[in-house]
């Protein structure tokens, strides 16, 4: 494949905040950008040269969109794999439809990982609600029942503490055609490895972020992770082997659990830029979004080492009041804080509206600034 140089057009399937930030990096590099998203007011629409509005199963409209781009990528997993297969026949698409077919389906993903010997959470596949109680008893409590598809940020899952919880669980996750039952682990930490792999099988890793969640949504991330060189090396080796097994061309975020026994297990895969990698916009020479563009355009990988320590915190719609926005001016007075807003017009509880990143040399100072930032945001709500 020849290099796709600035001046060409990048096509992005999905116009959310990930698509927006990828589009912004593409524009900075001199590329044109077209996006495809069913939402007329999606965040990336303001950045793109053209926005196709349509469903992800509208093959004709998708092919029309693809014809306007020199290369395609996607910003989230909930796209028809059949549609992607059709696009792949006509256009350059990275990562491949085969990668997405695995990563968009929790059961296929778990079976892909476990069949190749990668460490995963103990699990059972549940094909109908009548199986749930017996399989939950076999697996043991507590456990988590998840839909096979369309789940993110804690959606599409329910915790099970006893047999009694099983009776309503299937209905609570929307009566799926198939579900995944996982053993709940006691965790010391959660972290992610973001790897880029190019057409020549060269790879690069971003600094490993340690992730902290609240109500199933990423709350904040710190870099460095503080997990130690041995664990980070082991996690990178696993991510490298997973990317190779997928024959990945693009980015892959591998979410990991660190158990109370200090074992690491793979939680989930995301073949795209990842929320936990947003710090790279401010502390790495090459962000995760630019790295994706470099890879899909067959350009050299960029440098990804951290130039400072950092903390990234998501800003959810919970912070908005009916009569005003959060106190952005107060936040921007803090030294080392970089604010990123996504241009979403309707704040909702749990909706990711933006994030900030605090950069510095000393993590204690960064955490102190984060405490100040949270106080500013909370004062605005009182």
Instruction: Report the binding-site residues.
Output: 106, 146, 151-157, 182-185, 190, 213, 267-268
Residues forming the annotated binding site for ATP?
106, 146, 151-157, 182-185, 190, 213, 267-268
Residue spans of beta strands (DSSP E) within 143-186 = 143-147, 157-160, 179-183
DSSP 3-state assignment of 62?
A: helix
Residue spans of beta strands (DSSP E) within 207-336 = 210-214, 217-223, 250-259, 264-270, 309-316
- Whether omega for the bond prior to residue 155 falls within 30 degrees of 0, making it cis, is no
DSSP 3-state assignment of 121?
A: coil
CA nearest 97: which of 72, 114, 67? 72
Q: Which two tokens stand for residue 202?
A: 């060269």
Q: Which two tokens stand for residue 87?
A: 């696009």
- CB neighbour list of residue 306: distance below 8 Å, 6 or more residues apart: 207, 223, 224, 283, 284
- Contacts within 8 Å (CB) and 24+ apart, 165-174: 166/132, 166/133, 166/136, 167/133, 169/132, 169/145, 170/129, 170/132, 170/145, 173/145, 173/146, 173/147, 174/147
Asked if 279 contacts 310 with a C-beta cutoff of 8 angstroms, the reply is yes
């Amino acid at each position: 494949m020849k290099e796709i140089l600035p001046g060409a057009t990048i096509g992005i399937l999905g116009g959310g905040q990930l698509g927006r930030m990828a589009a912004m990096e593409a524009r900075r590099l001199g590329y044109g950008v077209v996006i495809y998203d069913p939402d007329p007011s999606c965040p990336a629409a303001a950045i793109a040269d053209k926005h196709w509005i349509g469903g992800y199963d509208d093959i004709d409209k998708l092919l029309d969109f693809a014809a306007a781009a020199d290369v395609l990528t996607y910003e989230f997993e909930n796209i028809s794999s059949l549609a992607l297969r059709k696009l792949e026949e006509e256009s350059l698409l990275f990562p491949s439809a085969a990668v997405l077919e695995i990563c968009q389906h929790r059961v296929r993903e778990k079976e892909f990982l476990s069949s190749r010997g990668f460490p995963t959470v103990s699990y059972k596949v549940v094909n109908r609600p009548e199986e749930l109680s017996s399989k939950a008893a076999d697996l043991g409590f507590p456990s988590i029942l998840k839909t096979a598809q369309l789940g993110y940020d804690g959606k599409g899952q329910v915790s099970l503490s006893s047999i009694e919880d099983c009776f309503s669980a299937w209905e609570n996750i929307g009566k799926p055609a198939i579900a995944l039952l996982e053993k709940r682990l006691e965790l010391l930490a959660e972290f992610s490895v973001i790897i880029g792999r190019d057409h020549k099988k060269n790879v690069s890793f971003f600094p490993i972020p340690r992730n902290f969640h609240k109500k199933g949504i990423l709350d904040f991330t710190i870099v460095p992770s503080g997990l130690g060189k041995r664990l980070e090396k082991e996690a990178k080796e696993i991510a490298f082997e997973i990317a190779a097994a997928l024959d990945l061309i693009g980015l892959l975020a591998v979410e990991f659990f660190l158990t109370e026994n200090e074992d690491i297990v793979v939680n989930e895969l995301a073949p795209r830029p990842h929320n936990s990698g947003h710090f790279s916009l401010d502390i790495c020479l090459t962000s995760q979004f630019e790295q994706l563009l470099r890879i899909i355009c067959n350009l050299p990988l960029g440098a990804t080492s951290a130039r400072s320590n950092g903390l990234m915190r998501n800003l959810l719609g919970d912070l908005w009041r009916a009569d005003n926005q959060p106190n952005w001016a107060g936040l921007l007075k803090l030294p080392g804080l970089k604010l990123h807003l996504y241009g979403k017009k309707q704040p909702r509880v749990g909706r990711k509206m933006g994030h900030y990143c605090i950069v510095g040399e000393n993590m204690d100072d960064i955490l102190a600034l984060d405490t100040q930032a949270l106080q500013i945001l909370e004062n605005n709500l009182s």
